[in-house]
Structure formats: C-alpha cells, structure tokens
Structure 1
Amino acid sequence: MSSATTSTEHPVEHLAEHAAGRRATGELIRHWRRHRRLSQLELSVEVAVSTRHLSFIETGRAVPSREMVLRLAEYLEVPLRERNRLLVAAGHAPEYHESRLDAPELDAVMGAMRQILTGHGPYPAVIVDRAWNVLDATASVALFTEGVAAELLTAPLNAYRISLHPRGLAPRIVNLAQWRAHLLHRLRRQVAITGDPLTRELYDEVSGYPGDAPPNAAGPGAPAVPLGIRHGDEVLSFVSTVATFGTAVDITVDEISIESFYPADRRTGRVLRELYGD
C-alpha cells in the first residue's frame, strides 16, 4: 500500500512571489531610467527593444532575460552593485563578485595602487572606497591631518569628514568656501550618478557642517579649484586628480578611487620635498 506525500509548496504563494519579483525588477529599471532622465521610447531605441516590451518589463507583466537586464543596466550606467540587485530581482544569479581587499584575486590590483602611491611621493594621495573612507595613503597625508580632532582620526577615516568638519582640516583651509563648494558638488554628482544611499548619507552629513555660502567658480583665469592650507607660517597650495579603474568587473575594484594631490606652486613642492622627500 503506497503512502501519499504531502507537498509543502503552495502554488498560489509561489505565483505571488514570482509576480512580486517581476514588479520589483520593473520598478528598479523604471527608477534608473527616470534617474537618467530618459523616456521609454529613448531607452527602447538605444537597447533595441520595443517600447511595448519595455513597458511590460517596467509594469511587471514580463520578466527580462539575463541578457536584457545586463543590456539595460549597461546603457543606464547602473553601478555594478546595483546591477546584481537587478539580476537577483529578475530571478537570475548575480554577475559581479565583491571581493575582500585582502583576497588573493585582488593582489595585482592592490599592488598597482600601492605602486601609484609609492610613485606619487612625496606628494599626498589617498585610496578611498565609495563612501570616501581611506584605505591607504602616502606618508605626506599627515600634512592634512595635523591638528585634526582624535575622533575624526579613528577608523574608518573619512576624507570628507576630515576635510570639512570644523574640528578637522577646515580651519586651516584658506579658501574653505571655495574648496567646500568643490567637494560638495563632486559628492552631489556622485550621489546623482550612483544613487548610493551611503554616499547620500555622507552628503547629508557633511553639507550640514557650518560654512560660508560657497562660490560658483574656481576664480578668474583659474584652471582648477585649488586647495590652500596653512602650514606653520606658510600657505601650501594643491590641485588634485581622481582616478578609478576603467575596466573593473569586481564591485570592490569598481568602487575604489585614488585622489592625488600635486603642488600648485614651486614653494609647495619645495616644502613637501623637504618634509617627505627621500
């Protein structure tokens, strides 16, 4: 005599979960499309799909294939972290791995970044993550942390907090309103591009620090916004660049940046070489 087995699966619940997944996928795609200020027609033309099908995806009436999710995400410039979220919502496996910084597969990447730092000395440079937490730095960054309150120097050190907090570097920045405007504009743009909640939280925090109304330009004839800081009786002047890995397929690598500071005048270069040169 055979015994009947009782299934614990509930088809109605399974269908409801599937429908919820479709809606979530569609809502995320619609969010990124609107975030990029594109119409359904504009996006459908660019990714070679009918407007009707795109509308079905956004409303949850159709589930996009893995290839379609990746094609949409690529055109919409969705960050790798969020592309995984789109894939999972659509019922697909994540595409992009998130490695630990000390993982063996990142040895070459971390080695390249350390080489950049070594080659940049005696000038300041920092390696930061997506929320501008400092991962590594040249010895001359100590020039920027002189007099900074101890609580701002506990891990994780955050470049924006150290720069703009009234107990950080801010009191030593001679063109604070100008530099503050530059940093906030850059961070606001990062929020707009990535939609990252951590970056948004950081922007909300540091934009609330006290400061004068910022100017809108670098100044007449200036090629870039300088950073001027007091160091003893001197005023040192810097310009900076921010570099990223352009071909990253790992989330950790994709979110790493290197900001390098260069002397904006001969006097600053001389002081740095005297203090931190070999």
Structure 2
Amino acid sequence: MILGLARSHAASLGSAYGLTSLAHLSGQLYPLITAFAIDGVLRGDFRPIIALGAWHLLMMALEVAAKMYDTRVFTRVYADLAGRFVERAHADGLPPSLITARAILSREYVDFLEKDVPGALTSAIGLITAMAVLISLDHVVGLICLGLILPLTIVNMGLGKRAVALNRGLNDRLEREVALLGRGRPTTVRRHFEAVAQWRIRLSDSEARAFGLMELSVIVLIGAALWRLSLGDAVQAGAVYAIFSYVWRFVIALDQVPATVQQIAKLKDLDRRMSQAATSE
C-alpha cells in the first residue's frame, strides 16, 4: 500500500524529498565550510568568513522552504488517503469500529512518508558525507567508520525481526480498542490499556537495546579520533574541528536508524492487515 500511495503522489513527494535532501546536504557540509573559515582566520584571510555567512544563509533558506513545502504536501496526501480508505471501507460494509481503528492506523503511512523517509535520507546523507570527509581528512578514522557499518547492520536486522512480531501484538490490541471502549466495562478497558502499555514498553526496550549497542561505536570512533590526533597528523585547527564534527555527525546519523527500523516493521504489519482486509472483501 505504501508503494501505491507513493506512486499516486510521486511528483509532489519527489519534490519534497529533493528539497529536504538539499537542505540536509547543505547542513552536512557546514562543518567543512566552518573548518576552512577557521583556518582562513588563523592565516589572516577573512574571505572564508564571507563564504561561511553566505553558506549559512543558503542552508537557512533551504530548510525554511523544505518545512513549508512539506506541510502542504503531506496534509494533502493524508486527506487523500484517509478519504479514499473510509469511503471504500463503508462501501464494503466493514464495521464502524474497525473503520475507525484502521483510519487512525492509516495515518502511520503518511507519518512514514513525512518523517521516516526524510529521516532515512538524512541518515544516508549524513553517513555518506561523514565517511567521505573523514576519509579525505584522515583515512584511518574514515575506514573505521566504514568498518562499523556491517556489525551495526546486523544489530538493526535483529531489531527489525523482533519489531515486526511486537507490532503485530500491539496492532491486534489497537484494532479492538474502539469496540472495547464502546462497551465501557471498566475492568476490560483497564486490562486493555495495561496490555497496550506492555506492548509499547517491549517495543521501547527493544529499540533501546539496539541503541545501546550502537552507542558503543561512539567510544570506538572518539577513541580512534583522539589516537590519530595524538600522532600529530592533524596540525591545523580547522582539521581538528572538522574531524570531530563529522565523527559526531556520523554517530547522530546512526542513532536515527533504530527508530526508522521500528517504523518500517510497524508498516509491514499494517500492510499485512490492509491486504487481508482487501482479500476478505
């Protein structure tokens, strides 16, 4: 369903993602421009400061334009999706409680397109930019970043498999929520919300464990950067600033991955439910 929705709004989504990617790329290059400015000032050359100011204005303009355009695109996408879904569900005679529950869950598709796809693009741009700049500044630190990709991918694959099962249990509960609340039995309602809370806790714990394992990369990267700098290879202040800025940006990009994996797992289960509903109809 997510692919069909993306195809229906391909032009507007492509424009939104392109503008967002440009804004993020300009932000990713900002520390490198700053490093040139620092070295320029230390040499008595203030022209890089002008370049830095111009780059900051460009970055700001792109970010403002991306935010304004995103709101317009994704509100229209959700209005189209929810309207078509509810209309079809009524025509097919689905129970009102199930229509309401799935209309609410269908918001997850738009949230994924609006937040998680740009988040994945941001992570990809951040990882690629950081590795490219680090390899150019210090190939050892850059190669260590590259070497961490495989074990961290394995960690997130494990998170994804567990998240699919946990989201299945949570969404089973959420689909029954409207009907349970409609009956108004205090004990049943209380048990329902306790069960929902437990599923959410298990999802959060699973993501937190993956995040903790990934944070071990911070120790490795910062230790490697400090070791390399102790050798005296990075003698310019700008290079020192750039190396630590891009190590940190690499880590920030990695930190976004577990949440994206969780959301993809949630959509897999939602797709399964929508497909089953369409088949049974």
Common topology (TM > 0.5): no
TM value normalised by structure 1? 0.24
Q: TM-score, normalised by structure 2?
A: 0.23
Q: Larger strand proportion, structure 1 or 2?
A: 1
Q: Which has the higher contact order (CA 8 A, sep 6+)?
A: 2
